[in-house]
Structure 1
């Protein structure tokens, strides 16, 4: 490996370590040390707090229940769409995955406005609950319902990908032996899907464990506090002086997530089944006369989980005040004019989110191309070194976003080399790069795995240096996958609120924090208008990624057939 290549690899590892590894290492040091050195005393003392015990139990309870429900719903949807001859499969997949791309706090706001006593949509239909009645979504039941809706698409995505590489000859052999579809499902399909089912459950559990937007907007009014909300409440109420105590709570949340993921890896090895091959056309079991009923059930799920809340969100954005029924007389675009043209904070938030999400996506695409090259080309020592950077990125993505926020506050609350990052927009940008690097990296690694390494070897033999080979060979070939990953990063960062909820400051607001603050501050119609705009932007970007996916290997754009 020549000097330029070694220097570039060292720079990549250093950047990823500074952004992903070092902040989390500081978090672990804060939570596991005191004046005497390494100790678990801070953790044990924190766990004696009744409020922390209650928040910990609430987190585990809500995450466990919602993960079970999300796994059940996602599995049913994946089996029906992946194994039967239902029509409009591509559109159904897109609509089923859409809730996963909509920010959790927007999902919570939509459902709060859909079913509350002041719902403009229900009011227009004459179905609104009596004024003053408790909101049905507040509390554990509503929290589990929304976490299920948010994370069922994640389980669906995992199982759908597994079904695409399913050994169809087993099913055909069972059919020829006279087995019905029910028996095939019980004896062949579900046993082979066991590792994917476990992965889906565990990922839904960890995603629910670290969710902030739904937990805050649904749980707090119902006095159901979880660990992410407890972290936010204590740091928001007491400021940086509470940072050591908050760091311990964040460490508990991180350790719980790591334990769950470790348990997943252990159980997956026990349940591992050999099922490989390239993606195939979906199995298409003929439903016969049952097909209209099954398709009606699928569209009913889409309507209940997507159309109803988004319709309520649009209705709320079109009334002058929350609680006024929507009609031709009350309908107005004033809320859109307010958030897009008059409110300085919303205009600033749109600019901030666009700039930092776009910059983060671009930086991640550049890092991903370099990391993908080093992971698949060159010496084994270089690949192992690049693997260290990839591992740090995976850990930063696996832990909840609020943990990343606390880690970044610990790392950058003091000026670094004379540069002050805390309370600036740059700390949010760097946190986005750390938290979402793994998202942009996955499609690029998949693209490099399918490239012929002889192209790079030919360039080296022809005398091309490392930089020229990257510019003329690796980067152009990986560009579609990097662009697709960048769009996914932009989608995630543009609307998120979990990472930025503890890092934003006046003048450095993001779209997610402004929407959250509008809703929690009682400006419901303005929150609805901003939410509608962000949902429309999300759909447009997903469609762009879908068009770009025609040039990419299967599976990189998750909602493409």
Structure 2
């Protein structure tokens, strides 16, 4: 019986292994492979391997590459610097002191995650540009700052600094104030103790969060496209998009620039690991430690004002600008009560309008991506955690590859892989191509969530089921999958929220005449219909925020009621 059970388990593991291999090869490996192939063999689309490396060498030697790469590094470094200036003081204050209204500030800091960067950039354009909302209310505009390289960095930092804030606030809480107290006993002032003791001990959290900000910045398309192009500030992402969408089409050039962008992202990860490997940052022993936060005393009012200022810049002003633009009947009419109404909402939700169709397309694709990515992520995680052999490491690395591939790179890979003339059947120019692109971009989230949940499960439950006559597949479906369901469903909700409003892949690979939320908003701005674009943006933010929150609330309620398979794993 034991031998039979082991054989059944081995057979089930092999089944999941091959399903995972085929899925990852199709969704992840194929686009990545074609980026490399087309960069090396520019004529591979016509079935020729002639003139290898010629186009690659020409592109790498092109002075335009140095300009694009330099601008990308400048934008990434500048955004990281501004994000650190905003987040580090706020995180330290939140973690080490009793800040009034701390939970409210945390909620307000979360909102930028719910506003896609390109929508936030468009809202700031409406606010700060000449004759924008700020000038209408105060008589002053900041268009000179908005349409500048520092302005781009500031806007991108306002959208990304919450990553640093939330990671560092938890890191500072773990470090606590006890080590700096020791320094103060030996004569250090409070600022010196923080700078020489607490801040260095938080290096892992600082490095990890700033790396994420850098990666998010260099792969972001919307803000550089909306602001940078107006001042001639092109980066790698916009350079790739230009080569794919503007005549003459230069797919080998886009593939080469994609490789450069991926190399930058990987170099940032290597740099982080090198920095963290030089020192030992362990500060937690075997004893639990109490977190004691200090009162702010005379600094209470300035600290509250600081939190209020940053929250207003990151959350309130963009949201109010989006809502104001949506309510204005005409943008030229300005913020006058007579110009306000729900006309744009009525036009957007008209049954025969393109807006409602685009909304339906995005919600359907978001739901489909959540299902496909969730199932493939669960199967891949199971093959990695429960499987055996060398393929486990290969699968784990392949499932994380999209983390190093910005969305524009994935889109280029999808185009190169599925737009080959010799393919007898292709999903290109169909909605299925968007499903493939979204799944590739967002697959790491379900894999990581499922991996963490499976790591907490022993093998005894599956073994008991197989001893009782259940096959490996049935044991997975009836026992393992229900136990990891909360983690998988949480990741699927995240995937749905992001996929429903994804921009760059939608712009590059969407079929002709097929609009999603992001494509609709972008094209409305291009056509001058700002009110309709912002109305869709407001609806998208509300829908893609409320639906996930409602689903999470339902999951928590089912878990409290003891629904089968919804207990925390």
Same fold (TM over 0.5): yes
In the other structure, the counterpart of 1:469 is 475
Q: After TM superposition, list the pairs within 5 Å mapping 1:41-440 onto structure 2.
A: 41-120=54-133, 122-123=135-136, 125-127=137-139, 129=141, 134=143, 136-163=145-172, 165-166=174-175, 170=179, 181-238=190-247, 241-275=249-283, 283-341=292-350, 344-379=353-388, 381=389, 384-414=390-420, 418-440=424-446
TM-score, structure 1 as length reference: 0.89
- Return the alpha-carbon distance in structure 2 between the equivalents of residues 119 and 107 of structure 1: 15
Deviation at 1:292, TM superposition (A): 3.1
2:527 to 502, 521, 546: 521
Distance 1:175 1:128, change over 3 A: closer
Deviation at 1:10, TM superposition (A): 0.9
- Return the alpha-carbon distance in structure 2 between the equivalents of residues 203 and 545 of structure 1: 27
Deviation at 1:490, TM superposition (A): 1.1
User: SS in structure 1 opposite 2:278?
Assistant: helix
User: SS in structure 2 opposite 1:487?
Assistant: helix
Distance 1:159 1:213, change over 3 A: same
Distance 1:482 1:347, change over 3 A: same
1:500 to 498, 506, 526: 506
Deviation at 1:156, TM superposition (A): 1.9
- Return the alpha-carbon distance in structure 1 between the equivalents of residues 138 and 409 of structure 2: 44
Deviations 1:452-472 (A, max 9, x none): 443334334444321222122
Distance 1:421 1:36, change over 3 A: closer
Asked whether the 8 Å contact 2:20–2:383 carries over to 1, the reply is no
Asked whether the 8 Å contact 2:16–2:382 carries over to 1, the reply is no
Deviation at 1:46, TM superposition (A): 1.0
- Return the alpha-carbon distance in structure 2 between the equivalents of residues 195 and 342 of structure 1: 52
Deviations 1:127-180 (A, max 9, x none): 354xxx955411212211111112111222332343454477646766787876
User: SS in structure 1 opposite 2:37?
Assistant: helix
Deviations 1:524-554 (A, max 9, x none): 11111111111212332453466478689xx
2:462 to 456, 459, 464: 456
- Return the alpha-carbon distance in structure 1 between the equivalents of residues 461 and 334 of structure 2: 64
- Return the alpha-carbon distance in structure 2 between the equivalents of residues 109 and 281 of structure 1: 45
Q: How well do the aligned residues superpose, as a CA RMSD in angstroms?
A: 2.8
Asked whether the 8 Å contact 1:12–1:367 carries over to 2, the reply is yes
2:28 to 20, 27, 37: 20
Aligned length: 544
In the other structure, the counterpart of 2:563 is none
Distance 1:25 1:161, change over 3 A: farther
Deviation at 1:5, TM superposition (A): 2.8
Distance 1:487 1:416, change over 3 A: farther
Deviation at 1:229, TM superposition (A): 1.0
Asked whether the 8 Å contact 1:147–1:208 carries over to 2, the reply is yes
Asked whether the 8 Å contact 2:41–2:51 carries over to 1, the reply is yes
User: SS in structure 2 opposite 1:506?
Assistant: coil
- Return the alpha-carbon distance in structure 2 between the equivalents of residues 478 and 277 of structure 1: 30
Asked whether the 8 Å contact 1:120–1:319 carries over to 2, the reply is no
Q: Where does structure 1 lack aligned partners over 5 or more consecutive residues? A: 553-561
TM-score, structure 2 as length reference: 0.88
